């Protein structure tokens, strides 16, 4: 089920997503070409109480359409050039049982 046009219109930022293609002779991951992918990036901050006092924790999520090729091993580059490791990828399903979009958690 493709993303609705009203939701797709909210994907106003661009992530560069490169799929992992393998590992080099040193065991480091190698990646394919960066693919520009429309996205919506949302950052949130939460204050957590710890034994040493309050601590601010940041969570960043990016929403991309279901036609994006992405998994936990992909390399994601933000619009400002930062490469941030993915913590997880969620794939919510539409009412017809197909993937509606991806939520990338950093």
Residue 33's CATH number: 2.40.10
At 6 the pLDDT is 94
**Total structural domains within the chain:** 1
Q: What pLDDT, on the 0 to 100 scale, is given for residue 3?
A: 85
**pLDDT by residue, tens only, the chain of 106 residues:** 678 999 999 999 999 999 999 999 999 999 999 999 999 999 999 999 989 999 999 899 999 999 999 999 999 999 999 999 999 999 999 999 999 999 999 9
Give the three-class secondary structure for 68: coil
Rounded to two decimals, the pTM is 0.84
Range of the domain at 42: 5-105
Q: Label residue 95 exposed, middle or buried (CB < 10 Å: 0-12, 13-18, 19+).
A: exposed
């Amino acid at each position: 089920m493709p993303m609705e046009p009203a939701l797709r219109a909210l994907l106003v930022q661009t992530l560069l997503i490169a799929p992992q293609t393998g590992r080099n002779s040193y065991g480091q991951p190698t990646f394919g070409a960066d693919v520009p992918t429309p996205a919506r990036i949302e950052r949130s901050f939460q204050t957590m109480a710890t034994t040493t006092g309050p601590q601010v924790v940041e969570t960043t999520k990016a929403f991309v359409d279901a036609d994006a090729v992405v998994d936990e091993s992909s390399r994601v580059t933000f619009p400002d050039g930062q490469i941030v490791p993915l913590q997880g990828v969620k794939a919510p399903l539409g009412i017809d049982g197909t993937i509606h979009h991806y939520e990338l958690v950093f």
